[in-house]
Amino acid sequence: MPSEPKLTRLAFAVSESRGRRYPEPPHPYRNDFQRDRDRVIHARAFRRLEDKTQVFSTRYSDHFRNRLTHTIEVTQIARTVAQAMGLNGDFAEALALVHDVGHPPFGHTGEKCLDEAMRAYGERFDHNVHALRIVERFEQRYAGFPGLNLTFEVREGILKHSRDYKPGELPPVYDEYLLDQRPPLEAQIIDLCDEIAYNTADLDDGCEARLITPAEIAGEVPVFREHFARVEATWPDAAEKLKFNEALKSLLDSLAGDLIENSLAVIRASGVETIEDVRRYPQRLIAFSSEMGARNAQIKKMLTRTLYRNPVLNPERERGAAMVSELFRLYMEDPERLPPSHRDRAKTETLCHVVCDYIAGMTDSFVGKTLAEIAPAIQ
């Protein structure tokens, strides 16, 4: 249990929400953040995460995380961290579930490709902005309003959970999201819970893919070495795979524990008393301790070299990049190739945005299927 008392006064109470864009009567037994969570789970963009690459595509193993299972892991960590700190678990859960819905196919490769394609037209692609567009416009499920009609705070958290924006960085239409202020603490925890989830999961998937070994991780990452040594002392005869799992589990727990304890200490030292103080505070208040931050950076450094930039994965990355770029080019060359609903949008909106939104929403396999249909010779 955290040594610091909980900070329930800084939990964002659902009764304080600025509400929905289109007012709705209250539900008899679910509060507004619980309803937001459920709307996200029932959204098509959420289901499509199952076929979107996180780091590894399913071409090599069906044990790897995809973006849906990653999202579930982030949600589990975020709910635990929020509740241990005395924050609003429902709010954190809704934010964690929705945090990756704006990711395009083929992971960061796909994201980089779309951004480059958009830059050629003087525009950018940002997955958080895209996620907001999905929940505001592209999900069509309700008769009374476009999008999911989520509460203001969940929409704000979608935009701002991973970073703050500089003044003027986004078009004025996003000014309503208080871009000069920090988001509530429940939104601030999401980015580091995301990091805990993917750092530990990528070590696991990296070993499963045989790109790294537990011994190499122990050699390069002192924090893992310590956890592994404790596991070896406790279960010297256990199977290697189980020792690795135990060490990883214990590492994840220590990262989450440090995040909880250190953030509580930072908040206490900051003197913030109200959510308004959190919003006006010059920095974010959720952080690892400097010691754990440095140890976490060592994990990241190893993963970058052995996984994210490993040349072995280049053909996989290049294949994804080539498909996204080619599809973008084909639609820009002839918008008649777009499905009718997107062709209609292109009559009133910039074509590059319509094309980018359409491709960003695709799953990995739908990109391949679509390319095969509209340009069979390329496949």
Determine the 3-state secondary structure of 53 from DSSP: strand
- How far apart are CB 194 and Mg ion at their closest, in Å? 4
100 versus 153: smaller Cβ distance to Mg ion: 100
d(CA 266, CA 261): 9
Tokens at 164, concatenated: 């703050």
- How far apart are CB 309 and Mg ion at their closest, in Å? 19
The per-residue DSSP string of 25-39 comes to PPPSS--HHHHHHHH
77 versus 212: smaller Cβ distance to Mg ion: 77
Q: Is 254 exposed, middle or buried (0-12, 13-18, 19+ CB in 10 A)?
A: middle
- How far apart are CB 361 and Mg ion at their closest, in Å? 17
- How far apart are CB 96 and Mg ion at their closest, in Å? 9
Q: Looking at this protein, which amino acid is placed at residue 274? A: T
**Measuring CA to CA, which residue among 178, 165, 107, 101 is closest to residue 134?**
101
d(CA 252, CA 72): 15
Q: For residue 373, what is the enclosing H or E element?
A: helix 364-374
d(CA 113, CA 119): 10
32 versus 202: smaller Cβ distance to Mg ion: 202
52 versus 227: smaller Cβ distance to Mg ion: 52
32 versus 100: smaller Cβ distance to Mg ion: 100
- How far apart are CB 81 and Mg ion at their closest, in Å? 15
100 versus 364: smaller Cβ distance to Mg ion: 100
- How far apart are CB 322 and Mg ion at their closest, in Å? 24
35 versus 161: smaller Cβ distance to Mg ion: 161
- How far apart are CB 272 and Mg ion at their closest, in Å? 27
Tokens at 128, concatenated: 């958080």
- How far apart are CB 97 and Mg ion at their closest, in Å? 11
Site residues (CB under 5 A) for Mg ion?
100, 194
102 versus 361: smaller Cβ distance to Mg ion: 102
Of the chain, the end-to-end C-alpha distance in Å amounts to: 55
d(CA 209, CA 212): 8
d(CA 40, CA 32): 12
Query: Which residue's C-beta sits nearest to Mg ion?
Result: 194
User: 351-361 and 314-333 are packed helices; what angle lies between their axes, rounded to 10 degrees?
Assistant: 140
Segments of the chain assigned E as strands: none
Contact yes or no for 364/106 (Cβ under 8 A): yes
d(CA 69, CA 75): 10
